Amino acid sequence: MKPAPFAYHAPADTGEAVALLADLGEDAKALAGGQSLVPMLALRLAVFDHLVDLRKLQELRGIERRGESVWIGAGTTQATIQRSDEIRTAVPLLARATPLIGHFQIRSRGTIGGSIAHADAAAEYPAVALTLDAEIEALSPRGRRMIPASRFFTGMWSTELAPDELLTGIVFPVLPGPCGFAVEEFARRSGDFAIAGATVAVGLDADARIDRCGIGLFGLGPTTSRATEVEAALLGTAPTEAVADDIGQSAVSVLESVPSDLHGSAAYRKRVGSAMVARAWRCAVQEAVND
């Protein structure tokens, strides 16, 4: 199939891009790397009268250390992130999740902003952003605002972004002290979307007790999510006190609307998700203890 007819726009800067989105409203869609949007257009799962191509916007690209955080421009490709020494050092979880995204051809065109804005529940980057308490930078005619990842993902393929807002960057905190990070996922084939996956970030205080804990879940609902109740129970405990298998089971036990499709039933996804959480927890804790 071919996409439905649309008008093509190629703004020269973010100001022009935002003005176009404001003028065209919900009939327009921003196009970043196109690795998710173009197939949906070709299959007519999505139809827009206008596409606003962001490829010329150099100001949306780059990786910058800003004090205790790292800013990544929305137009930065996944391949650039994968090669970045700064990301490997400052945001290890993002670096480890990146090679799991599709194939190298996809990562060469796909962007971090496109993945975050697309908000696929089985994608790695939304789970990483949520787990690390990232902030999403958005620009509109009203100015710039920061949206916490905790309220950015609102539903299947939907976000907090208004029709006239452009995602311009993502800010990831650099966690201090002993930390451990891990991402685990199960997919039918390498490069496929995950049937179930987990991201874990653990930070320890001076007494080697957990003072920061994030457990992200993807492929297990209409949006990526966090096991907040499990995280709260783990705070203040010694990492070796917790049983990884129990953490995994608790993390998925409260999930609702777990998908059931040709790749597996909801019960199967929960079992896989529990195992992914447990595996990621063990790896992250081991790294934090040895840090």
- Which CATH number does the domain housing residue 31 bear? 3.30.43.10
According to the 3-state scheme, what is the secondary structure of 38-60? HHHHHCCCCCCCEEEECCCCHHH
Q: Are residues 156 and 240 in the same domain?
A: no
In this structure, is residue 248 part of a structural domain?
A: yes
50: CB partners within 8 A, 6+ apart: 6, 7, 8, 9, 20, 24, 27, 28, 29
Pair 96, 129 in one domain: yes
Residues 66 and 161 grouped into a single domain: yes
217 within some domain: yes
CB–CB of 251/217 below 8 Å?
Answer: yes
Q: What is the pLDDT of residue 264?
A: 87
**188 and 165 belong to one structural domain:** no
pLDDT for the residue 263: 85
Q: 13 and 67: one domain?
A: no
**Average pLDDT by stretches of 10, the chain with 291 residues:** 90 96 94 90 90 95 97 98 98 98 94 96 97 98 97 95 96 96 93 92 96 97 96 95 95 93 92 98 96 86
pLDDT of amino acid 204: 97
Q: 243: which strand partners? A: none
Domain stops at, among 147, 173, 199: 173
**Could you identify the residue written with the tokens 């800013």?**
71
Predicted local confidence at residue 84, as pLDDT? 98
Residues 49 and 156 in one domain: no
**Domain membership flag for residue 201:** yes
Domain boundary at 125, 153, 173, which? 173
Q: State the pLDDT at residue 192.
A: 85
Q: Is residue 239 part of a domain?
A: yes
Number of domain units in the chain: 3
Shared domain check, 151 and 88: yes
Q: Are residues 200 and 245 in the same domain?
A: yes
pLDDT at 45: 86
In a domain, 2, yes or no: no
Bridge partners (DSSP) listed for residue 52: 9, 30
Please tell me whether residues 79 and 12 are part of one structural domain.
no
* Domain CATH number, residue 88: 3.30.465.10
CATH of the domain at 217: 3.30.390.50
Cα dihedral sign, 173-92-225-283: negative
Q: 91 and 143 share a domain?
A: yes
Query: What is the predicted pLDDT for the residue at 119?
Result: 95
Host domain of residue 225 = 179-290
Give the pLDDT score at 240. 85
Q: Which of 112, 139, 173 is the last residue of a domain?
A: 173
Residue 1 falls within a domain, yes or no? no
Q: Are residues 96 and 146 in the same domain?
A: yes
pLDDT of residue 190: 83
| Predicted pLDDT of residue 241 | 87
CB neighbour class for 68 (10 Å; exposed up to 12, middle 13-18, buried from 19): exposed
pLDDT at 2: 85
| Cβ pair 90, 65 in contact under 8 A | yes
Both 163 and 77 in one domain: the answer is yes
